[in-house]
Structure 1
Amino acid sequence: MKTIERRSTCPINYSVEIFGDKWMLLILRDLMFNGKNSFLEFRASQEKISSAVLTEKLNTLLNEGIVSKVTSPKNASKFLYLLTDKGIELVPVMMEILNWGSSHNPDGGPKPLLDRMKQNKNKAVRELQDKLRSQRQLHGIN
């Protein structure tokens, strides 16, 4: 297991060292908002992450306990990546990034989710977190 060499004990530094680049945020986006959870699904995203970079980022997320890796029930040679509780705790942060980005880039963003956030942000966060926890339970992970 590769560990990240920390530059300091600052909580912001800790966060930035784990997911402070575009690829990590885009992988988290795909896991949370786009229902993607396999290597090939992540590779199919329009940003075109390379296989090597995707492997490195997924391994970091695994090592940091943000995702878990399980065998697909439909195909034993395929793995699925699911957010752990630690990863699900990032939902409010990602929703704020989504909200900020959509307010400054009105062409982007999942409109139904943004509308739910405008109506009741806390409820929208809870609903998404519950949905992600349900995915874990479907695969036998508590």
Structure 2
Amino acid sequence: METIERRSSCPINYSVEIFGDKWMLLILRDLMFNGKNSFLEFRASDEKISSAVLTEKLNLLLNEGIVFKITSPKNASKFLYLLTDKGIEMIPLMVEILNWGSRYNPHGGPKTLLEEINRNKKKAITELQDKLRSKRESLIENQNIDLK
């Protein structure tokens, strides 16, 4: 497993070294908000990430324990990437980024989610986290995977 050599012990530095480029945030966006879980689904996003960059970023997320991968129950030659609890704990941060971006770039954004967030942010975050955990649990139920 490849690890990142840290420049310092600063918590902000730690976060930036993992999430400090657009591709990481866009992959997390797709996992959290767009229901995407496979390599091909990530590749189909509007931003057109290259296969090499996507592979590199997914491996970093795997190595950092933010996602894990399982074999697809529908296709044994396909992997699905799912958020660990460590990844799911990032949802409040991603909601804030989404909210900020929608405020200053009003030409896009998931309107339904934004309306839910504006009505009751804490509830919207909890529901999103629960939904992702439930989806994850149903996919791994029969695969004997330990998420700890």
- Per the normalisation by structure 2, the TM-score is 0.94
Alpha-carbon shift at residue 135 of structure 1 (Å):
1.1
Match of 1:65 in 2: 65
Match of 2:48 in 1: 48
What's the secondary structure of 1:107's corresponding residue? coil
CA distance in 1, matches of 2:135, 2:6: 32
Letter in 2 for 1:8: S
Match of 1:122 in 2: 122
Alignment length, in residue pairs? 142
- Structure 2 unaligned residues grouped into runs of 5+: none
Match of 2:2 in 1: 2
What's the secondary structure of 2:70's corresponding residue? strand
Asked whether 1:21 is paired with 2:46, we answer: no
Letter in 2 for 1:52: A
What's the secondary structure of 1:69's corresponding residue? strand
Once the two structures are superposed, the pairs formed by residues 96-135 of structure 1 within 5 Å of their partners are 96-135=96-135
CA distance in 2, matches of 1:130, 1:42: 22
What's the secondary structure of 1:70's corresponding residue? strand
Match of 2:35 in 1: 35
What's the secondary structure of 1:47's corresponding residue? coil
CA distance in 1, matches of 2:4, 2:135: 28
CA distance in 2, matches of 1:4, 1:131: 31
Alpha-carbon shift at residue 47 of structure 1 (Å):
0.2
What's the secondary structure of 1:135's corresponding residue? helix
- Structure 1 unaligned residues grouped into runs of 5+: none
CA distance in 2, matches of 1:86, 1:41: 22
CA distance in 1, matches of 2:89, 2:121: 15
CA distance in 2, matches of 1:102, 1:27: 18
Could you list the runs of 4 or more consecutive aligned residues of structure 1 that deviate by over 4 angstroms after TM superposition? none
